[in-house]
Amino acid sequence: MTERVRSKHTEANPLTVAILGAGGFIGSHMVEHLLEAARYAIVGIDVSSEKLEGISGPAFTFHQADVRRAPELLDEVIRSADVVVDLIAYANPSIYVTDPLEVFELNFVQNLEIAKRCIAHRKRLIQYSSAEVYGKTAEGTAYIEDTTDGVLGPVHKQRWIYAAGKILLERVLYAHGAAGNLDFTIIRPFNFIGSRIDYLVPANAIGGPRVFPHFISALLTGGPLRLVDGGYVRRAFMHIADANRAFQTVLDQPALTRNQIFNVGNPENDLTIREVARLMMELYEELTGKRPTSELVEISGEQFYGSGYEDSSRLPPDVSKLRSLGWAPQHDVRATFRDAMRYYLCTSTESAASKDGRGSLGRPSDPLRIEGALINSGLGQD
């Protein structure tokens, strides 16, 4: 699908995009996608460069740094950019309950600092928020950006500090926009999946990354797929390639997205976690030709994540606002999971991608490298 307005930028006259958190799951895919489009100059910052391995080009400059310890670098990168994309955040429910103050510091205080610098340098800010801002709301059939209420659990359920931080950040940006200080767009991601998501975990690991890396790790090691509180809650999953195109739609249409909030997700790919487990077992067999040896087991949320965890079902996103700008998700649920799984299975089986493991899927990580350097990057977005 072609977007309604093509960018006037070209390879010779690129738009400079600063990606803060370029080394995470979403950021590394964004860099790859923008490099392919060949009309952006990309400047990335991240504490980690592992997911960017092999992603390079004259249009991409990368600074390996922690923005909290490199304020001058951060300021210079923002000052020199046309557009700032802020992806910096923890997105890992274990951290929300074990280290809520660290979540507040990074996800709110540091993000506010970035917004202040965008205001000072008069730069457009594309802020990644989260589907989690809708909290436990179950009214209606879908979450709508500008009309749905957000409902959070009680304060002692510390899981909600993540959502609370994102909500306050959205409100501060909105207030600055309304006061004429800031040109911003907020993106609320709904469960993107794909290669390079989080990190693999050992069999029987609890807590840690998102559900997809847990399940693929279990399938690779023969360990159990753990269904938190029975796996009856729902999530809408989206292919990272659809997320990249959604981002570019927003990036290329500054006037139509100015001071607006957009859900980015695929409402068609709405499953219970139990259905996700079954689908991934089925796809494992399809991709490897082997029956999975993993079993489904149930575990309570408190046991899995720690006390202070509270789960909730999510409604699917209403994406008509972004659809009206010419974007539509293109990957159904099987293609979404199959592509993400193939990346992790292709080096351990001869069944997928090309011989060197690249294919069109990017670089596979070593599926047997477990809990390596990426363990510290509980960074990302929902």
* Binding residues vs ligand UDP (CB under 6 A): 93, 191, 210-211, 214, 226-228, 231, 233, 235, 273, 301, 311, 382
- Helix, strand or coil for residue 304? helix
Distance CA 281, CA 90 (A): 28
Say which of 162, 284, 305, 344 is annotated catalytic.
162
> At its nearest, how many Å lie between ligand UDP and the CB of residue 226?
5
> At its nearest, how many Å lie between ligand UDP and the CB of residue 112?
22
Distance CA 141, CA 324 (A): 19
Which residues have a Cβ under 8 Å from the Cβ of 64 and sit 6 or more positions away?
23, 45, 46, 47, 48, 49
Q: What is the DSSP string of 142-173?
A: SB-TTT---B---TTSGGGHHHHHHHHHHHHH
- Helix, strand or coil for residue 267? helix
**Residue 43 is encoded by which pair of tokens?**
């400047």
Angstrom CA distances, 101 to 104, 106, 109, 129, 132, stand at 5, 9, 10, 18, 18
**Pick 214 or 245: Cβ nearer ligand UDP:** 214
> At its nearest, how many Å lie between ligand UDP and the CB of residue 231?
5
**Pick 210 or 331: Cβ nearer ligand UDP:** 210
**Pick 68 or 136: Cβ nearer ligand UDP:** 136
> At its nearest, how many Å lie between ligand UDP and the CB of residue 144?
18
Whether 284 sits among the annotated catalytic residues: the reply is: no
From 267, 269, 271, select the one nearest 320 (Cα to Cα).
Answer: 267
- Helix, strand or coil for residue 176? helix
**Pick 209 or 364: Cβ nearer ligand UDP:** 209
- The strand pairing partners of 306, in sequence order, are none
> At its nearest, how many Å lie between ligand UDP and the CB of residue 143?
13
Do the beta carbons of residue 41 and residue 17 sit within 8 Å? Answer: yes
For residue 48, the number of C-alpha atoms closer than 13 Å in the C-beta half-sphere is 20
**Pick 108 or 184: Cβ nearer ligand UDP:** 108
> At its nearest, how many Å lie between ligand UDP and the CB of residue 168?
18
Interstrand relation of 234-236 and 270-272 (parallel, antiparallel or unpaired): antiparallel
Residues tagged active-site: 162
